[in-house]
């Protein structure tokens, strides 16, 4: 079943609402616009009624601002994208916890990028909530079976996992490497997706141990153990969205 994410558009110009609605419907198939509003009061009412996953919000709304509106509603479960003709509010938007900032006239690439970034954030939060709601879903460790013993490794200590010849090398803090006869896919099912990210058919990384992104054909990730992890073309968009790289 296809997953869709509900959205509301608030803008004091109906022509802008209609244009943005058309662009979203055409270019962002995962988004369902459930309501629009052209004034402050109706905007708050729509948010309280529909509790959208995304909010496309203008900044200047008939003498008030989008920032005023955000103070009146709970945004903890909502991604906000500011859509405005003014660059001067960018820093204030960031400080207000806004997910992204699009300038008018809206460019399709900017809209798609901001929307996909929000979807990635929503998916990550859902995964985190799933783990919190069901603590038995994932453990805090993995086990590595050897002939005469079983190694217990804390997830927080794992830097990356690499598939080599059907086995898996697990790089651990500080500078240890364990080899398991289990496949990378076996471990992927045990690792919480909000912490571990598949960057390549042969690699999974712990996002908490990424030092930097290195530009290249598809890019690589430098880990805290100074190893560069490649990003494959099929995984480039997912990595970019998860890490907010805007590639």
Given a cut of 60, whether residue 1 has pLDDT beyond it is no
User: Per-residue pLDDT averaged across 233-241, rounded?
Assistant: 87
| Higher-pLDDT residue of 108, 86 | 108
Neighbours of 8 (CB within 10 A): 22
For residue 78, the model assigns a pLDDT of 92
Give the SS3 label for residue 171. strand
Q: Nearest CA to 69 among 11, 7, 6? A: 11
Architecture field, domain 141-243: Beta Barrel (2.40)
Given a cut of 70, whether residue 133 has pLDDT beyond it is no
What distances in angstroms separate CA 148 from CA 13, 145, 154, 183, 187, one per listed residue? Answer: 71, 8, 20, 20, 21
For residue 2, the model assigns a pLDDT of 64
The tens digit of pLDDT for each residue in 139-154 reads 788 888 877 888 888 9
**159 contact partners, CB below 8 Å, separation of at least 6:** 171, 172, 173, 205, 206, 209, 223, 224, 225, 227
For residue 38, the model assigns a pLDDT of 95
Q: What's the half-sphere exposure (Cβ side, CA atoms, 13 Å) at 217?
A: 5
For residue 134, the model assigns a pLDDT of 53
For residue 129, the model assigns a pLDDT of 62
For residue 143, the model assigns a pLDDT of 86
Given a cut of 90, whether residue 160 has pLDDT beyond it is yes
| pLDDT tier for residue 10 given thresholds of 50, 70 and 90 | very high
User: Per-residue pLDDT averaged across 85-98, rounded?
Assistant: 82
Given a cut of 90, whether residue 230 has pLDDT beyond it is yes
| Higher-pLDDT residue of 199, 238 | 199
Domain ranges for the chain = 5-133, 141-243
The DSSP code for 209 is: G
**116 contact partners, CB below 8 Å, separation of at least 6:** 237, 241
Given a cut of 80, whether residue 156 has pLDDT beyond it is yes
Q: What is the secondary structure of 73-89 as a DSSP string?
A: S--TT-EEEEEES-GGG
Q: Using the structure block, give the residue that is written with the tokens 């509010």.
A: 89
Q: What is the mean pLDDT of the chain?
A: 88
| pLDDT tier for residue 95 given thresholds of 50, 70 and 90 | confident
What distances in angstroms separate CA 6 from CA 57, 123, 194, one per listed residue? Answer: 14, 13, 22
For residue 138, the model assigns a pLDDT of 61
Neighbours of 66 (CB within 10 A): 25
User: Per-residue pLDDT averaged across 6-14, rounded?
Assistant: 96
pTM: 0.56
Given a cut of 70, whether residue 84 has pLDDT beyond it is yes
In the chain, % of residues over pLDDT 90: 57
Q: Nearest CA to 200 among 172, 229, 170? A: 229
In what order do the strands lie in the sheet containing 54-57? 31-37, 5-10, 54-57, 79-84, 100-103
CATH topology classification for 5-133: Rossmann fold (3.40.50)
- Is 215 exposed, middle or buried, given 0-12, 13-18 or 19+ CB atoms closer than 10 A? exposed
User: Per-residue pLDDT averaged across 158-187, rounded?
Assistant: 91
The tens digit of pLDDT for each residue in 26-45 reads 999 999 999 999 999 999 99
For residue 170, the model assigns a pLDDT of 95
The C-alpha atoms of residue 98 and residue 222 are separated, in whole angstroms, by 28
């Amino acid at each position: 079943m296809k997953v869709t994410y509900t959205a509301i558009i608030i803008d004091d110009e109906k022509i802008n609402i209609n244009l943005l609605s058309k662009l979203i419907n055409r270019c962002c198939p995962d988004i369902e616009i459930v309501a629009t509003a052209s004034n402050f009061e109706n905007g708050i009412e729509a948010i309280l009624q529909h509790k959208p996953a995304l909010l496309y919000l203008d900044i200047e709304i008939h003498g008030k601002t989008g920032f005023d509106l955000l103070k009146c509603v709970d945004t903890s479960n909502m991604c906000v994208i500011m859509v405005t003709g003014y660059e001067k509010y960018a820093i204030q938007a960031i400080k207000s916890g806004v997910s992204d900032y699009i300038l008018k006239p809206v460019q399709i690439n900017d809209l798609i990028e901001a929307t996909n970034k929000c979807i990635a954030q929503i998916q990550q939060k859902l995964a985190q909530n799933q783990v919190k709601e069901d603590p038995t879903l994932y453990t805090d460790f993995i086990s590595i079976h050897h002939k005469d013993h079983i190694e217990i490794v804390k997830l927080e200590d794992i830097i990356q996992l690499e598939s080599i010849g059907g086995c898996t090398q697990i790089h651990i803090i500080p500078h240890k490497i364990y080899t398991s006869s289990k496949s990378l896919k076996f471990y992927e099912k045990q690792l919480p997706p909000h912490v571990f990210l598949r960057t390549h058919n042969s690699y999974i990384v712990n996002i908490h141990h990424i030092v930097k992104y290195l530009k290249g054909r598809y890019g690589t990730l430098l880990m805290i153990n100074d190893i560069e992890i490649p990003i494959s073309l099929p995984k480039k968009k997912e990595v970019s969205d998860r890490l907010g790289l805007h590639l």
